[in-house]
Homo-oligomer: A and B are copies of this chain.
Amino acid sequence: MKLGLGLYRHMLTDENFAFAKQCGCTHLVIHLADYYSNQIVTATDDKTNYGQAKALEPIWQADSMIALQKKAQSYGLTIYAIENFSPADWYDVLLDGPKREAQMEHLKEIIRNAGKAGIRSFGYNFSLAGVWGHQKERSGRGGAYGTCFDASRIKLDAPIPNGEIWNMTYRSNEQGVLAPITSAELWARLRRFLEEILPVAEESGVELALHPDDPPLEGLRGMPRLVYQPELYQNVIDISSSNANKLEFCMGSIQEMTHGNIYDAISQYAGQNRISYIHFRNVKGKVPKYQEVFVDDGDIDMPKALALLEQYGFDGVIIPDHTPEITCGAPWHAGMAYALGYMRAVLQMLDKQLS
């Protein structure tokens, strides 16, 4: 298992590459879609979203990705994955709209470019409503500022305005709202997407890795969702036996689901060698109400989970994803440093038990 850090696009600086290396990381997972353009915004509702998504940005070109990979290597790091397409680059793939074919061609190009830059994995979140409806509260240990979800405090069925997808605006000043679709239709769109893109991914040496729904609800904003229970991940795997068809295994999201448990989910999916990388995140509670907590302080026994992954031979990257912020002059960094220190210790101790 490899220790990594997730960096948003505005955080791809020399300082943060040094930060990751100092915290014991060997790998990075980077976001190139330009949500959170200068600060991390985790709480959104039907009044606010992650902002404007721009199509066809030059950052997705091969030379940009290769330059980023070289920069990472100069710090002794490897970019293991890119996480998420930009909503403006694939809204009609999600919506089955008129620009679908052109957008699919561009996505294939992005996957080829990732392959050229030696990036092994590409995370994606096949969702219309996206990550939505979280609040921020000082509910963590010691009053730490973290993300939580409480369905009773939001309007779960607030419709998605036209021109908005995955919680970002790709076209402004639209009228009306998105018409609901069935779950079968959404699964059909995922299947079509995977059947077209997986051959390109295989050729390029890149894995496609699906994030489960966050929050994991059967429906949100009038739209169906795909993986809101652990067993639904199996449907994704069953679409294609390609080695490129993988999971972006978010432990927090799976723990928030009402069926099964995280350990069985690890056994099931690591046992099939379908996990590309892991969001190592702990929570208390399940939908409809849960809160994100420090890695050592939640419902998941994190060392037990990592021991299971090791047992199944998982050799991909684990990243903290998000974590509560810690009160100081650099709350995000201190939160990540705490999580990474924890992860590093568990990995060292597991290594020793096995050797």
- Footprint of B on A, CB under 8 Å? 15-16, 18-24, 75-76, 140-144, 294-297, 303-304, 324, 326-330, 333-335, 337-346, 348-349, 352
List chain B residues, Cβ under 8 A from A334. 19, 328, 330, 333-334, 337
Establish whether residues B333 and A341, one from each chain, have CB atoms under 8 Å apart when the complex forms: no
Chain B, Cβ-Cβ closest to A332: B328
Cα-based distance from A182 to B304 in the complex (angstroms): 55
List chain B residues, Cβ under 8 A from A15. 327-328
Establish whether residues A143 and B294, one from each chain, have CB atoms under 8 Å apart when the complex forms: no
Cα-based distance from A341 to B335 in the complex (angstroms): 9
12 A-B pairs whose Cβ atoms sit less than 8 Å apart in the complex: A15-B327, A19-B142, A22-B142, A75-B142, A296-B348, A303-B345, A304-B352, A329-B329, A329-B333, A338-B340, A341-B345, A345-B349
List chain B residues, Cβ under 8 A from A142. 18-23, 75-76
| A294-B24 contact in complex given A15-B327, A142-B18, C-beta closer than 8 Å | yes
| A335-B333 contact in complex given A18-B142, A22-B140, A326-B19, C-beta closer than 8 Å | no
Cα-based distance from A335 to B336 in the complex (angstroms): 11
Q: Please tell me how many copies of the chain the complex holds.
A: 2
Cα-based distance from A330 to B303 in the complex (angstroms): 28
| A295-B18 contact in complex given A76-B142, A333-B330, C-beta closer than 8 Å | no
Establish whether residues B326 and A329, one from each chain, have CB atoms under 8 Å apart when the complex forms: no
Cα-based distance from A278 to B166 in the complex (angstroms): 50
Chain B, Cβ-Cβ closest to A77: B142
List chain B residues, Cβ under 8 A from A24. 141, 294, 296-297, 338
List chain B residues, Cβ under 8 A from A341. 295-296, 337-345
Establish whether residues A22 and B294, one from each chain, have CB atoms under 8 Å apart when the complex forms: yes
Cα-based distance from A241 to B45 in the complex (angstroms): 65
A22 touches which of B22, B143, B349 (Cβ 8 Å): B143
How near does chain B come to A324, taking the closest CB pair, in angstroms? Answer: 7
A328 touches which of B19, B327, B349 (Cβ 8 Å): B19
With A19-B326, A23-B142, A344-B345 given, can you name 9 additional A-B contacts, CB distance below 8 Å? A18-B144, A19-B328, A20-B142, A21-B142, A22-B141, A296-B345, A326-B337, A328-B333, A330-B330
List chain B residues, Cβ under 8 A from A140. 22
List chain B residues, Cβ under 8 A from A75. 142
Chain B, Cβ-Cβ closest to A296: B344
List chain B residues, Cβ under 8 A from A18. 142-144, 327
Most chain B CB within 10 A, of A21, A328, A330, A333, is at A328
How near does chain B come to A155, taking the closest CB pair, in angstroms? Answer: 32
